[in-house]
Structure 1
Amino acid sequence: MRKSERHQVILEEVHLHNRVLLTDLAGILNVSMDTVRRDVKELDELSRLRKVHGGAVSNGFNIYTDQSGEIFQQDSKVRIAKKGISLLKDGDVILISGGSTNLELAKLIPAKMNLTIFTPSLPMAIELINNMSPRHEVYLIGGKLSKESQLVTGGESINSLSDITADICFLGTGYIDYSKGITETDWEIAQMKRAMIKASKRLVALTISKKLNTVNRYKICDINTLHALVTELEPDADLLRPYHDNGVELI
């Protein structure tokens, strides 16, 4: 595979999953770690992505959208966010993680609804504050902040979640598969997301369809733990049928 082709594959993976590991990219490209490390370094120097320890992140990753000009499949994410808003009820307590689709949801939250919102994501908290209404209460869950993900993790944050019972959790998903469930690249982030699920009555995943049927290292939950899956597709799309067959509501 030529270098230009490798670069294209790397950019597609980074745009799709927001954060990818060098080891995963080496496996996808079937090249050495040294080769993929050089490729990522070159793309970073060209400002096509951001090189981080052990991997790469997209330029728009965890930067709230008023400051970002690079949102992958933004039209689809806005459509998904509009569907997600329909699931909210006045008086809800909401848990919401980070991710570009969830950030689009945050921008559309109705000002007239009385809502209490908890998030472990710094960019999400900023987006929520920017769009905050007097009827909204926003809480940033405390704990150790990951530099790469800008998400709070660790025992302190997980303990805080044990005192919350949310009506609905909007969980950002990097990898989702009907047989392997929802997975993550990072163990601490996976533990945080597990705690969010445990603290919620209803679990919703907002995701573009390109992320469907993808898997990574650390399992967060089985697919039947998910109450609703929201994509840009129509609910009767063939790609979604296995999720429906596993008891997931399609929206």
Structure 2
Amino acid sequence: MLKEERHAYILKQINLHNKVLSSDLSEQLVVSEDTIRRDLNELAESGKILKVHGGALSKSFHYPFQQVDAYAKDAKKEISRKALSLIQNGMTLLASGGTTMIELVRMIPDHLTCTFFTISPLVALELAEKPNLQVILLGGQLSRNAQISIGSKVVSELNDIKVDLCLLGANSVSLEEGITDSDWEVVQVKKAMIKSAQKTAIVSIAEKLNSIQKLKVCNLNSIDYLITDLNAQDSLLTDYAKSVQVI
């Protein structure tokens, strides 16, 4: 594979999953980790990604308040419009982090009166702009990569609350493995979020469907809603609709 092809593949994976690990890319592209490190360094020097220890991050994920175009922004806005149909006045909600979630909370109308718990400082700042929302930021160790609270403290706080609806971003979604991720600490927080909610909605661009990460969050039947940018009748969603309500 040519270097340009490797770079295109790496950028695609970062845009889809917000971060990549050098070790995973080495396996997927069947090249040495030294080659991957050189590729990541070149992409970082050209301003396309953020290089971190052991891998790289998406710039739009890491700097959502700056003028960096988020990947698949129109698709994420469509997901947000659909997700808003689940939110009603007086509800207590729990929100994860990520660029899709930021697009979603930006669309919340000013008249809506709800209580929002969130593990994301960035999402909390967006929610705080809405005049009729009560916003509660759950604290813990801040993950520099995922930009959410992680660790035993936030898991303990999640165990003490019960919400009507959890809005949860996903790194990968598949029929066989359900919801998966690449970060052990993030997986533990997501499991606690699902446990604390009466209902859970996964918000994910369709490109993440039929992909699998190494660590499992839950099976599909643990989720109540799957919200993508596709029409609910799209053939790609037919088998998913057997396990979860597709919106």
TM range (shorter): over 0.9
Confirm or deny that 1:27 pairs with 2:24.
no
User: How many angstroms does 1:24 deviate by?
Assistant: 1.5
- Alignment partner, residue 76 of structure 1: 75
In the TM superposition, structure 1's runs of 4+ consecutive aligned residues that sit over 4 Å from their partners are none
Q: How is 1:202-221 mapped onto 2 (pairs within 5 angstroms)? A: 202-221=199-218
How many angstroms apart in 2 are the aligned matches of 1:63 and 1:224? 33
TM-score normalised over the length of structure 1: 0.96
Query: Deviation at 1:39?
Result: 0.4
Whole-Å separation in 2 of the counterparts to 1:211 and 1:79: 15
Q: Distance in 2 between matches of 1:80 and 1:116?
A: 21
Counterparts of 2:51 and 2:126, CA distance in 1: 24
CA RMSD of aligned residues (A): 1.0
Q: Which amino acid aligns with 2:180?
A: T
Alignment of 1:241 onto 2:247:
no
Question: Which residue of 1 is the match for residue 189 of structure 2?
Answer: 192
Q: Which residue identity does 1:231 align to in structure 2?
A: T
- In the other structure, the counterpart of 1:149 is 146
Looking at structure 2, the residues matched to 63 and 141 of structure 1 have their Cα atoms a distance apart, in angstroms, of 21
How many corresponding residue pairs?
247
1:192 to partner: Cα distance: 0.4
Alignment partner of 1:88 is 2:87: yes
Q: Give the whole-Å Cα distance in 2 for the aligned partners of 1:31 and 1:70.
A: 30
Match of 2:229 in 1: 232
1:179 CA displacement: 1.2
C-alpha change, 1:91 and 1:62, in structure 2 (3 Å) is farther
In 2: Cα distance, 1:183 partner to 1:48 partner: 26
How far did residue 68 of structure 1 move?
3.4
Post-superposition offset of 1:62: 3.9
- Note the C-alpha offset of 1:186: 0.4
Which amino acid counterpart does residue 183 of structure 1 have in structure 2?
Answer: T
Deviation at 1:116, TM superposition (A): 0.5
Equivalent residue for 1:126? Answer: 125
Deviations for 1:77-126, whole angstroms, at most 9, x for unmatched residues?
Answer: 10110010011011111100011111110101121111100111122112
Q: Which runs of 5+ in 1 are unaligned?
A: none
Cα deviation, residue 194, structure 1: 0.4
**Which SS does the other structure have where 2:238 is aligned?**
helix
Equivalences for residues 42-61 of structure 1 within 5 A: 42-61=42-61
Identity of aligned residues (%): 40
Q: Match of 1:23, SS?
A: helix
